[in-house]
Structure 1
Amino acid sequence: MGEERAHRMQEIDKLYAEVHEFRTKESFTGLVSFVKRFPRMAPYNAMLVYTQKPGSRFVATPDEWRIYGRQPKKGARPLVILQMFGPVGFVYELEDTEEIPGAEGNLFPEGLLHPFRTEGNGEFYIHILKDNLRREGIGYREENYGSSQAGALHRNDDGGTFVFPSKTPKGKEKVVPHDFDMVVNRNHDDTTKCATIFHELGHYFAGHLGGYPDNKHVADRRSEHLTVGQEEFEAETICYLVCERVGIKNPSAAYLHGYLDRNDMIPKGISIDTILKATGKIERMLKSGYPLREMKKE
Protein backbone atom coordinates (compact mmCIF):
# COMPACT_ATOMS: atom_id res chain seq x y z
CA MET A 1 0.00 0.00 0.00
CA GLY A 2 2.87 2.35 0.82
CA GLU A 3 4.56 1.69 -2.54
CA GLU A 4 1.27 2.28 -4.37
CA ARG A 5 0.74 5.60 -2.58
CA ALA A 6 4.31 6.67 -3.36
CA HIS A 7 3.77 5.82 -7.03
CA ARG A 8 0.58 7.90 -7.09
CA MET A 9 2.35 10.86 -5.56
CA GLN A 10 5.07 10.56 -8.21
CA GLU A 11 2.39 10.67 -10.88
CA ILE A 12 0.90 13.82 -9.31
CA ASP A 13 4.31 15.50 -9.27
CA LYS A 14 4.77 14.61 -12.93
CA LEU A 15 1.36 15.98 -13.87
CA TYR A 16 1.99 19.20 -11.97
CA ALA A 17 5.28 19.63 -13.82
CA GLU A 18 3.52 19.25 -17.16
CA VAL A 19 1.44 22.36 -16.46
CA HIS A 20 4.46 24.43 -17.40
CA GLU A 21 4.85 22.79 -20.81
CA PHE A 22 1.85 24.47 -22.47
CA ARG A 23 3.83 27.36 -23.93
CA THR A 24 3.49 26.94 -27.66
CA LYS A 25 0.41 28.21 -29.46
CA GLU A 26 -0.64 24.69 -30.42
CA SER A 27 -0.34 23.17 -26.95
CA PHE A 28 -1.97 26.17 -25.25
CA THR A 29 -4.99 26.32 -27.59
CA GLY A 30 -5.35 22.55 -27.35
CA LEU A 31 -5.43 22.72 -23.56
CA VAL A 32 -7.91 25.62 -23.46
CA SER A 33 -10.22 23.95 -25.99
CA PHE A 34 -10.15 20.75 -23.96
CA VAL A 35 -10.79 22.35 -20.57
CA LYS A 36 -13.84 24.29 -21.81
CA ARG A 37 -15.50 21.02 -22.88
CA PHE A 38 -15.64 19.61 -19.33
CA PRO A 39 -17.65 22.06 -17.20
CA ARG A 40 -18.56 19.43 -14.63
CA MET A 41 -14.90 18.83 -13.87
CA ALA A 42 -12.66 21.27 -12.03
CA PRO A 43 -10.47 23.10 -14.57
CA TYR A 44 -7.25 21.79 -13.04
CA ASN A 45 -8.52 18.23 -13.16
CA ALA A 46 -9.52 18.72 -16.80
CA MET A 47 -5.91 19.71 -17.47
CA LEU A 48 -4.72 16.52 -15.74
CA VAL A 49 -7.02 14.43 -17.92
CA TYR A 50 -5.75 16.28 -21.00
CA THR A 51 -2.13 15.46 -20.21
CA GLN A 52 -2.99 11.78 -19.81
CA LYS A 53 -5.51 11.33 -22.64
CA PRO A 54 -5.94 14.42 -24.87
CA GLY A 55 -8.70 12.94 -27.06
CA SER A 56 -11.10 12.26 -24.18
CA ARG A 57 -14.76 13.01 -24.86
CA PHE A 58 -16.52 11.98 -21.63
CA VAL A 59 -14.88 11.09 -18.31
CA ALA A 60 -16.54 10.01 -15.07
CA THR A 61 -16.00 7.92 -11.96
CA PRO A 62 -17.16 4.28 -11.92
CA ASP A 63 -20.15 5.28 -9.74
CA GLU A 64 -21.13 8.01 -12.20
CA TRP A 65 -20.83 5.65 -15.15
CA ARG A 66 -23.15 3.14 -13.43
CA ILE A 67 -25.87 5.79 -13.42
CA TYR A 68 -25.69 5.64 -17.22
CA GLY A 69 -25.63 1.86 -17.39
CA ARG A 70 -21.90 1.58 -18.02
CA GLN A 71 -18.85 0.24 -16.21
CA PRO A 72 -15.07 0.29 -16.75
CA LYS A 73 -13.80 -2.43 -19.08
CA LYS A 74 -11.71 -5.16 -17.51
CA GLY A 75 -8.12 -3.97 -17.39
CA ALA A 76 -9.03 -0.40 -18.40
CA ARG A 77 -6.49 2.19 -17.31
CA PRO A 78 -7.95 4.88 -15.03
CA LEU A 79 -7.05 8.55 -15.34
CA VAL A 80 -5.66 10.24 -12.24
CA ILE A 81 -7.26 13.43 -10.89
CA LEU A 82 -6.98 15.33 -7.63
CA GLN A 83 -9.80 15.17 -5.10
CA MET A 84 -10.80 16.65 -1.80
CA PHE A 85 -9.25 14.80 1.14
CA GLY A 86 -7.32 12.82 -1.57
CA PRO A 87 -4.69 12.68 -2.60
CA VAL A 88 -6.11 11.30 -5.84
CA GLY A 89 -9.24 9.97 -7.48
CA PHE A 90 -9.77 7.97 -10.65
CA VAL A 91 -12.00 8.51 -13.68
CA TYR A 92 -12.52 6.57 -16.90
CA GLU A 93 -12.99 7.83 -20.43
CA LEU A 94 -16.02 6.72 -22.47
CA GLU A 95 -14.09 4.35 -24.71
CA ASP A 96 -12.69 2.60 -21.64
CA THR A 97 -16.19 1.70 -20.45
CA GLU A 98 -18.82 -0.76 -21.64
CA GLU A 99 -22.54 -1.32 -21.14
CA ILE A 100 -23.52 -3.21 -18.02
CA PRO A 101 -25.46 -6.28 -19.21
CA GLY A 102 -29.16 -5.79 -18.57
CA ALA A 103 -28.76 -2.23 -17.29
CA GLU A 104 -30.59 0.75 -18.71
CA GLY A 105 -28.66 3.93 -19.37
CA ASN A 106 -27.50 6.47 -21.91
CA LEU A 107 -24.43 5.57 -23.98
CA PHE A 108 -23.54 9.25 -24.36
CA PRO A 109 -24.53 11.15 -21.18
CA GLU A 110 -24.96 14.66 -22.60
CA GLY A 111 -25.99 15.80 -19.12
CA LEU A 112 -22.33 15.66 -18.09
CA LEU A 113 -21.68 18.66 -20.32
CA HIS A 114 -24.38 20.94 -18.91
CA PRO A 115 -24.03 21.39 -15.14
CA PHE A 116 -25.81 24.75 -14.92
CA ARG A 117 -29.53 25.43 -15.03
CA THR A 118 -29.41 27.44 -18.23
CA GLU A 119 -26.81 28.44 -20.80
CA GLY A 120 -26.09 32.04 -21.69
CA ASN A 121 -28.69 33.38 -19.28
CA GLY A 122 -27.09 36.44 -17.75
CA GLU A 123 -30.24 37.26 -15.77
CA PHE A 124 -29.75 34.04 -13.83
CA TYR A 125 -26.04 34.44 -13.09
CA ILE A 126 -25.93 38.17 -12.37
CA HIS A 127 -27.98 38.04 -9.16
CA ILE A 128 -25.94 35.17 -7.73
CA LEU A 129 -22.70 36.91 -8.65
CA LYS A 130 -23.68 40.20 -7.00
CA ASP A 131 -24.47 38.46 -3.73
CA ASN A 132 -21.36 36.30 -3.79
CA LEU A 133 -19.12 39.28 -4.54
CA ARG A 134 -20.11 40.72 -1.16
CA ARG A 135 -19.36 37.36 0.46
CA GLU A 136 -15.88 37.59 -1.04
CA GLY A 137 -15.39 41.14 0.30
CA ILE A 138 -15.95 42.90 -3.04
CA GLY A 139 -18.39 45.77 -3.38
CA TYR A 140 -20.42 46.05 -6.58
CA ARG A 141 -22.01 49.02 -8.28
CA GLU A 142 -22.98 50.09 -11.79
CA GLU A 143 -22.16 53.37 -13.50
CA ASN A 144 -23.33 55.14 -16.65
CA TYR A 145 -20.28 54.43 -18.81
CA GLY A 146 -19.86 54.74 -22.56
CA SER A 147 -20.02 51.66 -24.75
CA SER A 148 -16.23 51.19 -24.81
CA GLN A 149 -15.90 50.96 -21.00
CA ALA A 150 -16.96 47.64 -19.50
CA GLY A 151 -15.83 47.85 -15.89
CA ALA A 152 -12.99 47.92 -13.41
CA LEU A 153 -11.85 46.48 -10.09
CA HIS A 154 -9.81 48.38 -7.54
CA ARG A 155 -8.82 48.13 -3.90
CA ASN A 156 -10.99 49.88 -1.33
CA ASP A 157 -8.90 51.89 1.09
CA ASP A 158 -11.85 53.40 2.96
CA GLY A 159 -12.37 50.40 5.21
CA GLY A 160 -15.78 49.05 6.15
CA THR A 161 -17.30 45.59 6.26
CA PHE A 162 -20.13 43.55 4.84
CA VAL A 163 -22.39 42.22 7.61
CA PHE A 164 -24.17 38.87 7.32
CA PRO A 165 -26.83 38.01 9.92
CA SER A 166 -26.74 34.71 11.72
CA LYS A 167 -28.84 31.86 10.37
CA THR A 168 -29.90 30.95 13.91
CA PRO A 169 -31.66 33.14 16.52
CA LYS A 170 -28.81 32.84 19.03
CA GLY A 171 -25.96 32.92 16.56
CA LYS A 172 -23.62 35.85 15.99
CA GLU A 173 -23.56 37.92 12.86
CA LYS A 174 -20.50 37.56 10.67
CA VAL A 175 -18.52 40.24 8.89
CA VAL A 176 -16.25 40.26 5.86
CA PRO A 177 -13.84 43.17 5.27
CA HIS A 178 -14.75 45.40 2.33
CA ASP A 179 -11.38 45.23 0.53
CA PHE A 180 -12.25 45.74 -3.15
CA ASP A 181 -14.81 47.54 -5.29
CA MET A 182 -16.03 46.49 -8.72
CA VAL A 183 -17.71 48.93 -11.11
CA VAL A 184 -19.63 47.68 -14.15
CA ASN A 185 -21.28 49.52 -17.05
CA ARG A 186 -24.99 49.68 -16.24
CA ASN A 187 -25.87 50.20 -19.93
CA HIS A 188 -24.73 46.69 -20.86
CA ASP A 189 -27.07 43.71 -20.82
CA ASP A 190 -26.84 41.16 -18.03
CA THR A 191 -24.84 38.65 -20.07
CA THR A 192 -22.22 41.29 -20.93
CA LYS A 193 -22.12 42.33 -17.28
CA CYS A 194 -21.43 38.71 -16.32
CA ALA A 195 -18.52 38.52 -18.75
CA THR A 196 -17.15 41.77 -17.32
CA ILE A 197 -17.39 40.38 -13.78
CA PHE A 198 -15.61 37.19 -14.88
CA HIS A 199 -12.80 39.25 -16.40
CA GLU A 200 -12.33 41.41 -13.31
CA LEU A 201 -12.51 38.40 -11.03
CA GLY A 202 -9.83 36.89 -13.26
CA HIS A 203 -7.53 39.75 -12.28
CA TYR A 204 -8.56 39.33 -8.64
CA PHE A 205 -8.02 35.58 -8.30
CA ALA A 206 -4.84 35.74 -10.39
CA GLY A 207 -3.38 38.06 -7.76
CA HIS A 208 -2.83 41.00 -10.10
CA LEU A 209 -4.16 43.45 -7.51
CA GLY A 210 -2.23 41.83 -4.69
CA GLY A 211 -3.47 39.79 -1.78
CA TYR A 212 -4.13 40.86 1.77
CA PRO A 213 -3.16 39.30 5.11
CA ASP A 214 -6.43 37.60 5.99
CA ASN A 215 -7.25 36.07 2.59
CA LYS A 216 -6.42 32.40 2.20
CA HIS A 217 -6.99 31.89 -1.52
CA VAL A 218 -5.74 35.03 -3.29
CA ALA A 219 -1.99 35.20 -3.76
CA ASP A 220 -0.08 38.45 -4.18
CA ARG A 221 1.68 38.17 -7.54
CA ARG A 222 2.74 41.79 -7.82
CA SER A 223 6.33 40.79 -7.06
CA GLU A 224 6.36 38.90 -10.38
CA HIS A 225 6.20 42.29 -12.14
CA LEU A 226 3.78 41.16 -14.83
CA THR A 227 3.19 43.65 -17.62
CA VAL A 228 -0.28 44.95 -18.39
CA GLY A 229 -0.27 42.71 -21.46
CA GLN A 230 0.56 39.63 -19.42
CA GLU A 231 -2.13 40.39 -16.86
CA GLU A 232 -4.71 40.98 -19.59
CA PHE A 233 -3.80 37.72 -21.31
CA GLU A 234 -4.36 35.80 -18.09
CA ALA A 235 -7.63 37.61 -17.28
CA GLU A 236 -8.95 37.19 -20.83
CA THR A 237 -8.12 33.49 -20.81
CA ILE A 238 -9.87 33.02 -17.47
CA CYS A 239 -12.92 34.94 -18.71
CA TYR A 240 -12.97 32.93 -21.94
CA LEU A 241 -12.86 29.60 -20.11
CA VAL A 242 -15.61 30.52 -17.64
CA CYS A 243 -17.87 31.89 -20.39
CA GLU A 244 -17.35 28.92 -22.68
CA ARG A 245 -18.00 26.43 -19.89
CA VAL A 246 -21.34 28.07 -18.99
CA GLY A 247 -22.44 28.78 -22.57
CA ILE A 248 -21.80 32.54 -22.76
CA LYS A 249 -20.20 33.98 -25.89
CA ASN A 250 -17.79 36.83 -25.23
CA PRO A 251 -15.12 39.02 -26.86
CA SER A 252 -12.30 37.19 -25.10
CA ALA A 253 -12.37 34.57 -27.84
CA ALA A 254 -11.49 37.17 -30.49
CA TYR A 255 -8.77 38.64 -28.25
CA LEU A 256 -7.08 35.29 -27.65
CA HIS A 257 -7.37 34.10 -31.25
CA GLY A 258 -6.02 37.45 -32.45
CA TYR A 259 -3.00 37.22 -30.18
CA LEU A 260 -2.26 33.60 -31.01
CA ASP A 261 -2.65 34.22 -34.74
CA ARG A 262 0.15 36.81 -34.49
CA ASN A 263 2.42 34.86 -32.14
CA ASP A 264 3.78 31.33 -31.94
CA MET A 265 4.17 31.39 -28.16
CA ILE A 266 1.99 32.63 -25.34
CA PRO A 267 3.49 35.57 -23.37
CA LYS A 268 6.36 34.79 -21.01
CA GLY A 269 5.45 34.81 -17.35
CA ILE A 270 1.90 33.50 -17.90
CA SER A 271 0.87 31.01 -15.20
CA ILE A 272 -1.31 28.20 -16.57
CA ASP A 273 -1.64 26.93 -13.01
CA THR A 274 -3.08 30.29 -11.91
CA ILE A 275 -5.46 30.47 -14.90
CA LEU A 276 -6.97 27.06 -14.21
CA LYS A 277 -7.34 27.59 -10.47
CA ALA A 278 -8.87 31.05 -10.94
CA THR A 279 -11.37 29.62 -13.41
CA GLY A 280 -12.49 27.07 -10.83
CA LYS A 281 -12.83 29.71 -8.12
CA ILE A 282 -15.04 31.91 -10.31
CA GLU A 283 -17.23 28.95 -11.21
CA ARG A 284 -17.86 28.34 -7.51
CA MET A 285 -19.18 31.91 -7.34
CA LEU A 286 -21.90 31.00 -9.86
CA LYS A 287 -23.68 28.86 -7.31
CA SER A 288 -25.83 29.75 -4.34
CA GLY A 289 -24.41 29.01 -0.91
CA TYR A 290 -20.99 30.45 -1.65
CA PRO A 291 -19.15 30.55 1.70
CA LEU A 292 -18.09 33.77 3.34
CA ARG A 293 -14.47 34.54 2.57
CA GLU A 294 -12.35 32.33 4.78
CA MET A 295 -9.86 34.23 6.89
CA LYS A 296 -6.33 33.26 7.83
CA LYS A 297 -5.97 32.57 11.51
CA GLU A 298 -3.50 34.65 13.47
Structure 2
Amino acid sequence: MTQLSIPGTEPVGLGGAPSETPAARRTSVDRIIDTLLREMSPSEVIGQLVALRPHAVFNALLAIVQLPHATMLRTEARWDAEWGRQVRPGQHPIVLLAPFGPVELYFDVSQTEPGNRARPLPVAYESMFTMTDAPQAQQLQERIIEDAKKYGVRVVHSQVGTPLAGRIRAVNGNGAQLYQGHDCPIRWVITLAASHSPTEQLATLTHELGHLFCGHLGASEKDKWSQRHEVDPATKEFEAESVTQLVLGRLAPATALPAYSGRVLNGAATATRADWVHIAQAADRVLKPFHKLSAG
Protein backbone atom coordinates (compact mmCIF):
# COMPACT_ATOMS: atom_id res chain seq x y z
CA MET A 1 0.00 0.00 0.00
CA THR A 2 1.34 3.45 -0.94
CA GLN A 3 1.99 5.75 2.01
CA LEU A 4 0.77 9.26 1.29
CA SER A 5 2.96 12.16 2.35
CA ILE A 6 0.62 15.03 3.32
CA PRO A 7 2.21 18.47 3.80
CA GLY A 8 1.80 19.69 7.37
CA THR A 9 1.34 16.19 8.80
CA GLU A 10 4.90 14.82 8.46
CA PRO A 11 6.35 12.78 11.35
CA VAL A 12 8.27 15.02 13.74
CA GLY A 13 11.78 14.07 14.86
CA LEU A 14 13.94 15.20 17.77
CA GLY A 15 13.82 18.92 18.42
CA GLY A 16 10.47 19.27 16.64
CA ALA A 17 12.01 19.08 13.14
CA PRO A 18 10.24 17.11 10.40
CA SER A 19 11.82 13.68 10.02
CA GLU A 20 11.37 13.75 6.21
CA THR A 21 13.44 15.93 3.90
CA PRO A 22 11.84 17.73 0.91
CA ALA A 23 13.54 15.17 -1.33
CA ALA A 24 11.92 12.32 0.61
CA ARG A 25 8.51 14.01 0.37
CA ARG A 26 9.01 14.43 -3.40
CA THR A 27 9.79 10.71 -3.64
CA SER A 28 6.51 9.92 -1.87
CA VAL A 29 4.57 12.03 -4.38
CA ASP A 30 6.41 10.31 -7.24
CA ARG A 31 5.29 6.97 -5.84
CA ILE A 32 1.70 8.23 -5.88
CA ILE A 33 2.05 9.05 -9.58
CA ASP A 34 3.68 5.69 -10.30
CA THR A 35 0.76 3.93 -8.60
CA LEU A 36 -1.75 5.79 -10.76
CA LEU A 37 0.13 5.20 -14.01
CA ARG A 38 0.18 1.45 -13.42
CA GLU A 39 -3.63 1.49 -13.56
CA MET A 40 -4.45 4.23 -16.08
CA SER A 41 -2.97 6.38 -18.83
CA PRO A 42 -1.66 9.93 -18.25
CA SER A 43 -4.68 11.35 -20.12
CA GLU A 44 -7.04 9.42 -17.79
CA VAL A 45 -5.23 10.82 -14.73
CA ILE A 46 -5.47 14.38 -16.06
CA GLY A 47 -9.14 13.90 -16.98
CA GLN A 48 -9.97 12.78 -13.45
CA LEU A 49 -8.06 15.68 -11.89
CA VAL A 50 -9.98 18.11 -14.11
CA ALA A 51 -13.34 16.46 -13.25
CA LEU A 52 -12.86 17.07 -9.51
CA ARG A 53 -13.06 20.84 -10.10
CA PRO A 54 -14.30 21.98 -6.66
CA HIS A 55 -11.13 20.62 -5.05
CA ALA A 56 -7.53 21.78 -5.28
CA VAL A 57 -5.56 19.77 -7.83
CA PHE A 58 -3.33 18.19 -5.17
CA ASN A 59 -6.41 17.17 -3.17
CA ALA A 60 -7.90 15.72 -6.34
CA LEU A 61 -4.68 13.75 -6.79
CA LEU A 62 -4.96 12.41 -3.26
CA ALA A 63 -8.60 11.47 -3.89
CA ILE A 64 -8.04 9.40 -7.03
CA VAL A 65 -5.09 7.58 -5.45
CA GLN A 66 -7.38 6.47 -2.64
CA LEU A 67 -10.41 5.85 -4.87
CA PRO A 68 -9.72 5.76 -8.63
CA HIS A 69 -12.46 7.40 -10.70
CA ALA A 70 -13.93 9.31 -7.76
CA THR A 71 -16.28 11.93 -9.19
CA MET A 72 -18.40 13.68 -6.56
CA LEU A 73 -17.01 14.13 -3.05
CA ARG A 74 -18.86 15.35 0.05
CA THR A 75 -18.46 14.90 3.78
CA GLU A 76 -20.91 12.49 5.41
CA ALA A 77 -22.86 15.40 6.89
CA ARG A 78 -23.14 17.18 3.54
CA TRP A 79 -24.33 14.03 1.74
CA ASP A 80 -27.17 13.83 4.24
CA ALA A 81 -28.01 17.55 4.33
CA GLU A 82 -27.69 18.36 0.60
CA TRP A 83 -28.70 15.12 -1.12
CA GLY A 84 -30.48 12.98 1.47
CA ARG A 85 -27.95 10.20 0.96
CA GLN A 86 -26.22 8.00 3.51
CA VAL A 87 -22.77 6.45 3.41
CA ARG A 88 -23.08 2.71 2.87
CA PRO A 89 -21.75 0.49 5.68
CA GLY A 90 -18.11 -0.51 5.52
CA GLN A 91 -16.91 2.40 3.36
CA HIS A 92 -13.47 3.88 3.99
CA PRO A 93 -13.33 7.69 3.91
CA ILE A 94 -11.16 9.61 1.46
CA VAL A 95 -8.65 11.74 3.38
CA LEU A 96 -8.06 15.23 1.93
CA LEU A 97 -6.20 18.27 3.20
CA ALA A 98 -8.44 20.73 5.07
CA PRO A 99 -8.12 24.55 4.61
CA PHE A 100 -7.71 25.32 8.32
CA GLY A 101 -6.72 21.97 9.74
CA PRO A 102 -4.74 18.87 8.95
CA VAL A 103 -7.29 16.68 7.13
CA GLU A 104 -11.00 16.25 6.38
CA LEU A 105 -12.90 13.03 5.58
CA TYR A 106 -14.91 12.75 2.35
CA PHE A 107 -16.95 10.06 0.60
CA ASP A 108 -17.54 9.59 -3.13
CA VAL A 109 -21.05 9.24 -4.57
CA SER A 110 -20.26 5.58 -5.32
CA GLN A 111 -19.93 5.02 -1.55
CA THR A 112 -23.42 6.32 -0.77
CA GLU A 113 -27.01 5.18 -1.16
CA PRO A 114 -30.30 7.14 -1.26
CA GLY A 115 -32.23 7.68 1.98
CA ASN A 116 -35.95 8.38 2.48
CA ARG A 117 -35.62 12.01 1.39
CA ALA A 118 -33.00 11.59 -1.34
CA ARG A 119 -32.85 14.09 -4.20
CA PRO A 120 -32.06 12.98 -7.77
CA LEU A 121 -28.37 13.26 -8.53
CA PRO A 122 -27.16 15.45 -11.41
CA VAL A 123 -27.25 13.40 -14.62
CA ALA A 124 -23.46 13.45 -14.91
CA TYR A 125 -23.15 11.53 -11.63
CA GLU A 126 -25.88 8.96 -12.17
CA SER A 127 -24.51 5.47 -12.74
CA MET A 128 -24.94 4.18 -16.30
CA PHE A 129 -24.52 0.63 -15.00
CA THR A 130 -27.50 0.31 -12.62
CA MET A 131 -29.44 -2.94 -13.10
CA THR A 132 -32.22 -4.83 -11.35
CA ASP A 133 -31.05 -7.98 -9.59
CA ALA A 134 -30.80 -11.19 -11.60
CA PRO A 135 -31.51 -14.53 -9.87
CA GLN A 136 -28.34 -16.27 -8.69
CA ALA A 137 -26.11 -13.53 -10.14
CA GLN A 138 -23.33 -14.25 -7.64
CA GLN A 139 -23.26 -17.97 -8.48
CA LEU A 140 -23.28 -17.24 -12.23
CA GLN A 141 -20.42 -14.80 -11.79
CA GLU A 142 -18.39 -17.31 -9.76
CA ARG A 143 -18.87 -20.04 -12.37
CA ILE A 144 -17.64 -17.78 -15.18
CA ILE A 145 -14.68 -16.57 -13.08
CA GLU A 146 -13.60 -20.14 -12.36
CA ASP A 147 -13.83 -21.17 -16.01
CA ALA A 148 -11.91 -18.06 -17.15
CA LYS A 149 -8.88 -19.18 -15.12
CA LYS A 150 -7.98 -21.71 -17.82
CA TYR A 151 -7.46 -18.79 -20.24
CA GLY A 152 -5.11 -17.05 -17.79
CA VAL A 153 -7.73 -14.58 -16.50
CA ARG A 154 -7.71 -13.45 -12.88
CA VAL A 155 -10.68 -11.46 -11.55
CA VAL A 156 -10.35 -9.02 -8.65
CA HIS A 157 -12.84 -6.68 -6.98
CA SER A 158 -11.63 -3.16 -6.24
CA GLN A 159 -13.02 0.04 -4.75
CA VAL A 160 -13.40 2.49 -7.63
CA GLY A 161 -15.74 5.35 -8.43
CA THR A 162 -18.99 5.20 -10.38
CA PRO A 163 -17.61 5.87 -13.91
CA LEU A 164 -15.54 2.67 -13.91
CA ALA A 165 -17.53 -0.58 -13.83
CA GLY A 166 -14.47 -2.64 -14.67
CA ARG A 167 -11.51 -3.08 -16.96
CA ILE A 168 -9.19 -5.77 -18.33
CA ARG A 169 -5.43 -5.43 -18.78
CA ALA A 170 -2.54 -7.67 -19.78
CA VAL A 171 -0.21 -8.76 -16.96
CA ASN A 172 1.95 -11.45 -18.55
CA GLY A 173 4.44 -12.98 -16.13
CA ASN A 174 2.44 -11.96 -13.05
CA GLY A 175 2.21 -15.27 -11.19
CA ALA A 176 -0.22 -18.17 -11.47
CA GLN A 177 -3.52 -19.35 -10.00
CA LEU A 178 -4.93 -22.80 -9.33
CA TYR A 179 -7.39 -24.29 -11.82
CA GLN A 180 -8.56 -27.91 -11.49
CA GLY A 181 -5.45 -28.82 -9.49
CA HIS A 182 -2.95 -27.17 -11.87
CA ASP A 183 -1.15 -23.83 -11.83
CA CYS A 184 -2.31 -21.61 -14.71
CA PRO A 185 -0.14 -18.56 -15.53
CA ILE A 186 -1.99 -15.27 -15.09
CA ARG A 187 -2.01 -13.32 -18.37
CA TRP A 188 -4.87 -10.87 -17.84
CA VAL A 189 -6.51 -9.24 -14.82
CA ILE A 190 -10.14 -8.09 -14.83
CA THR A 191 -11.01 -5.51 -12.19
CA LEU A 192 -14.66 -5.26 -11.14
CA ALA A 193 -16.12 -2.39 -9.10
CA ALA A 194 -16.68 -3.68 -5.57
CA SER A 195 -19.47 -1.12 -5.02
CA HIS A 196 -21.59 -2.60 -7.84
CA SER A 197 -24.20 -5.30 -7.26
CA PRO A 198 -23.46 -8.94 -8.23
CA THR A 199 -25.72 -8.50 -11.27
CA GLU A 200 -23.87 -5.37 -12.42
CA GLN A 201 -20.55 -7.14 -11.82
CA LEU A 202 -21.80 -10.11 -13.88
CA ALA A 203 -22.59 -7.81 -16.81
CA THR A 204 -19.20 -6.11 -16.54
CA LEU A 205 -17.40 -9.44 -16.30
CA THR A 206 -19.01 -10.68 -19.53
CA HIS A 207 -18.22 -7.36 -21.23
CA GLU A 208 -14.51 -7.54 -20.36
CA LEU A 209 -14.32 -11.19 -21.40
CA GLY A 210 -16.03 -10.12 -24.61
CA HIS A 211 -13.10 -7.77 -25.28
CA LEU A 212 -10.65 -10.60 -24.65
CA PHE A 213 -12.40 -13.29 -26.69
CA CYS A 214 -13.10 -10.90 -29.59
CA GLY A 215 -9.33 -10.43 -29.86
CA HIS A 216 -9.24 -6.77 -28.83
CA LEU A 217 -6.31 -7.40 -26.46
CA GLY A 218 -4.41 -9.54 -28.94
CA ALA A 219 -3.74 -13.28 -28.90
CA SER A 220 -0.88 -15.74 -28.72
CA GLU A 221 -0.40 -18.76 -30.97
CA LYS A 222 -2.06 -20.98 -28.35
CA ASP A 223 -5.22 -18.86 -27.99
CA LYS A 224 -8.42 -19.96 -29.70
CA TRP A 225 -9.35 -16.44 -30.82
CA SER A 226 -7.82 -14.07 -33.37
CA GLN A 227 -5.66 -11.02 -32.73
CA ARG A 228 -7.76 -7.95 -33.67
CA HIS A 229 -5.90 -4.93 -32.27
CA GLU A 230 -6.76 -2.90 -35.35
CA VAL A 231 -10.52 -2.68 -34.61
CA ASP A 232 -11.59 0.90 -33.85
CA PRO A 233 -12.59 1.72 -30.22
CA ALA A 234 -16.32 2.22 -30.90
CA THR A 235 -16.58 -1.13 -32.66
CA LYS A 236 -14.68 -2.84 -29.84
CA GLU A 237 -17.22 -1.52 -27.33
CA PHE A 238 -20.10 -2.58 -29.56
CA GLU A 239 -18.74 -6.11 -29.91
CA ALA A 240 -18.01 -6.50 -26.19
CA GLU A 241 -21.42 -5.17 -25.16
CA SER A 242 -23.10 -7.43 -27.73
CA VAL A 243 -21.41 -10.37 -26.00
CA THR A 244 -22.88 -9.13 -22.70
CA GLN A 245 -26.36 -8.91 -24.18
CA LEU A 246 -26.15 -12.41 -25.65
CA VAL A 247 -24.78 -13.97 -22.46
CA LEU A 248 -27.21 -12.29 -20.07
CA GLY A 249 -30.05 -12.95 -22.52
CA ARG A 250 -29.33 -16.66 -22.06
CA LEU A 251 -28.50 -16.67 -18.33
CA ALA A 252 -30.87 -13.97 -16.99
CA PRO A 253 -33.45 -13.17 -19.70
CA ALA A 254 -35.77 -11.23 -17.37
CA THR A 255 -33.04 -8.76 -16.35
CA ALA A 256 -32.86 -5.51 -18.32
CA LEU A 257 -29.41 -4.36 -19.34
CA PRO A 258 -28.15 -0.99 -18.04
CA ALA A 259 -28.42 2.39 -19.75
CA TYR A 260 -24.78 2.07 -20.83
CA SER A 261 -25.71 -0.92 -22.99
CA GLY A 262 -28.36 1.00 -24.91
CA ARG A 263 -25.97 3.88 -25.51
CA VAL A 264 -23.33 1.54 -27.00
CA LEU A 265 -25.64 -0.68 -29.06
CA ASN A 266 -27.72 2.02 -30.77
CA GLY A 267 -25.21 2.87 -33.51
CA ALA A 268 -26.23 1.34 -36.84
CA ALA A 269 -22.89 2.22 -38.48
CA THR A 270 -20.98 0.53 -35.67
CA ALA A 271 -23.16 -2.58 -35.99
CA THR A 272 -22.24 -2.78 -39.67
CA ARG A 273 -18.50 -2.66 -38.88
CA ALA A 274 -18.75 -5.32 -36.16
CA ASP A 275 -17.67 -8.90 -36.83
CA TRP A 276 -20.65 -11.01 -35.81
CA VAL A 277 -18.75 -14.29 -36.14
CA HIS A 278 -16.31 -13.13 -33.47
CA ILE A 279 -19.18 -11.86 -31.30
CA ALA A 280 -21.00 -15.23 -31.48
CA GLN A 281 -17.83 -17.23 -30.80
CA ALA A 282 -16.91 -14.98 -27.87
CA ALA A 283 -20.41 -15.34 -26.35
CA ASP A 284 -20.22 -19.13 -26.68
CA ARG A 285 -16.83 -19.13 -24.97
CA VAL A 286 -18.23 -17.18 -21.99
CA LEU A 287 -21.25 -19.52 -21.88
CA LYS A 288 -19.16 -22.69 -22.15
CA PRO A 289 -19.38 -23.66 -18.42
CA PHE A 290 -23.18 -23.68 -18.79
CA HIS A 291 -23.41 -25.69 -22.02
CA LYS A 292 -23.50 -29.05 -20.27
CA LEU A 293 -26.34 -27.84 -18.03
CA SER A 294 -28.47 -26.89 -21.05
CA ALA A 295 -27.60 -29.86 -23.29
CA GLY A 296 -30.65 -31.72 -24.53
Q: Bigger radius of gyration, 1 or 2? A: 2
